[in-house]
Amino acid sequence: MMVAGEHSGDILGVCLMKRLKEYYPNIVFAGIGGQRMESEGFISYYPMSKLSVFGLFEVLKHLPELLGIRRNLRKSILHENPDVFIGIDAPDFNLKLENDLYQKGIKTVHYVSPTVWAWRPKRIKKLINSLNALLCIFPFEEEYFKNTPVPAHFIGHPLADEYEDHEGTLSARKELLINPEAPVLTMMPGSRLGELERHSLIFLETAQRCSNEITGLKVLVPLPDSAAVEVFRNIYEQSGIKLDLEIKEMAGKTMIAASDMVLVASGTATLEAMLLKKPMVVAYKLSALTTWVFRAFDLLKAPYVSMPNLIAGKGLVKEYLHEEMTTEALTKELLRLHQTPEAVRSMEKEFTKMATKLTRDASTQAAKIVIRIIEGEN
């Protein structure tokens, strides 16, 4: 049984499923997953989109439904009595479920460490006596749990493996029928509905200003599914902005590879841009109420939010968060990258080093740990 809560979890889930199938050809997967997992035969009891809610107040709005789903899923899992339960990210949903199942004797694995090192550090208590293994995708996470009872293992990041032999810029542009000489900006405003609503217009206004300064700028927007495409397209059409714009579903890797620079919402997409060694500007805006709570209660403990900066342990890429996320600030930094090739080369060099650290055949490492747990060796 598995639960993935959003698109990044769906990617991790399908890669792990493929490795486990190699060892257990007759394995059956069920729970909650996305399109990628379903394409491998996963039986999803609820649409994954039900869990893709972010922000304190946004979650509260959907809380009764989420609690109902978790309660019903718990009953199903206890009835099925699976060999292992794997919660993929989605800590607010999965950690309580994992604890309940573990206490009932079901083996549990949590894939992707909750960001206890960044905010809400007390959540570490939820990991103790709840898990047979915690699979960490960043090296600093295993170190963080070293002196705790949490059974943490650094396995590397599956995206680093997937992107190790990525296509080059020219090859990606050829695939997308883009002029090899054209300046290209890829924009990734997010995958969740709330992110798209908060980010899209500012991203579009930024692209318009950049296109006023950069002759012939081509703008690419990869989005995770048809619902996200519809939301973004509506915002674009209502904005009155005119760009040389191409929107595509499920084309993130190719569109990032084709770009000269990336404007990206904080999240897994920053890691994708890093692995493809593309200079980026990171932006993120929470709802006004959620931002206030974060600040009022000093919930954010990490100095950075984007993956490249967290892995590097320094401010390698510029982050513009909340009220700092303005059209003026984003445009200024993108133009700086466009006009300063030495800054871009320096960023690319750092990205290459970090990608090497993360490349460990993560899905195979994860599957080995899961198999050991199923076989009673952990």
| Domain contains 228 | yes
- Those residues with Cβ within 8 angstroms of residue 323's Cβ, 6 or more apart along the chain or in another chain: none
Please tell me the predicted confidence (pLDDT) of residue 310.
87
pLDDT tens for each residue of the chain, 378 residues long: 999 988 889 989 999 999 999 999 999 999 999 999 999 999 999 999 888 765 444 566 778 889 999 999 999 999 999 999 999 998 889 999 999 999 999 999 999 998 776 566 677 888 999 999 999 998 888 988 998 999 999 999 988 998 888 889 999 999 999 999 999 999 999 988 889 999 999 999 999 999 999 999 999 999 988 999 999 999 999 999 999 999 999 889 999 999 999 999 998 899 999 999 999 999 999 766 655 555 554 555 667 788 899 888 899 999 999 889 999 999 999 999 999 999 999 999 999 999 999 999 999 999 999 999 999 986
| Domain contains 164 | no
d(CA 216, CA 323): 30
Query: Do 230 and 282 have their domain in common?
Result: yes
d(CA 293, CA 303): 17
Query: Do 243 and 272 have their domain in common?
Result: yes
| Domain contains 107 | yes
Query: Do 73 and 197 have their domain in common?
Result: no
Q: What is the pTM of this model?
A: 0.76
| Domain contains 249 | yes
Query: Do 146 and 178 have their domain in common?
Result: no
| Domain contains 163 | no
What is the token pair recorded at 284? Answer: 């993120």
Instruction: Determine the residue type at 303.
Output: P
CATH number at residue 24: 3.40.50.2000
Q: Which domain holds residue 73?
A: 2-156+360-374
- Those residues with Cβ within 8 angstroms of residue 321's Cβ, 6 or more apart along the chain or in another chain: 266, 283, 284, 285, 305
Q: Which strands form 2-4's sheet, in the order they lie side by side? A: 43-44, 30-32, 2-4, 85-88, 108-111, 133-136, 152-154
Please tell me the predicted confidence (pLDDT) of residue 268.
85
**CA distances to 62, 81, 92, 181, 265 from 67, in Å:** 9, 21, 11, 52, 28
Query: Do 199 and 139 have their domain in common?
Result: no
| Domain contains 186 | yes
Q: Is the dihedral of CA 292, 298, 302, 303 positive or negative?
A: positive
Strands 30-32 and 2-4: parallel
| Domain contains 14 | yes
User: How many domains, in total, are found in the chain?
Assistant: 2
Query: Do 354 and 365 have their domain in common?
Result: no
What is the token pair recorded at 90? Answer: 């989605």
Tokens 């394995």 correspond to 27
Query: Do 127 and 201 have their domain in common?
Result: no
156 and 137 in contact (C-beta within 8 Å)?
A: yes
Query: Do 315 and 178 have their domain in common?
Result: yes
d(CA 370, CA 83): 10
Please tell me the predicted confidence (pLDDT) of residue 296.
53
Query: Do 34 and 80 have their domain in common?
Result: yes
| Domain contains 161 | no
Query: Do 188 and 327 have their domain in common?
Result: yes
**Closest-CA residue to 323 (of 297, 269, 287):** 287
Q: Own/partner pairs for 349-356, CB < 8 Å, 24+ apart?
A: 350/308, 350/312, 350/316, 351/274, 351/275, 351/277, 351/308, 352/277, 354/274, 354/308, 354/311, 354/312, 355/160, 355/163, 355/164, 355/274, 355/275, 355/277
d(CA 203, CA 264): 9
194, exposed or middle or buried, with CB in 10 Å at 0-12, 13-18, 19+?
Answer: middle
Query: Do 150 and 194 have their domain in common?
Result: no
Query: Do 51 and 129 have their domain in common?
Result: yes
d(CA 33, CA 195): 21
Tokens 């493809």 correspond to 276
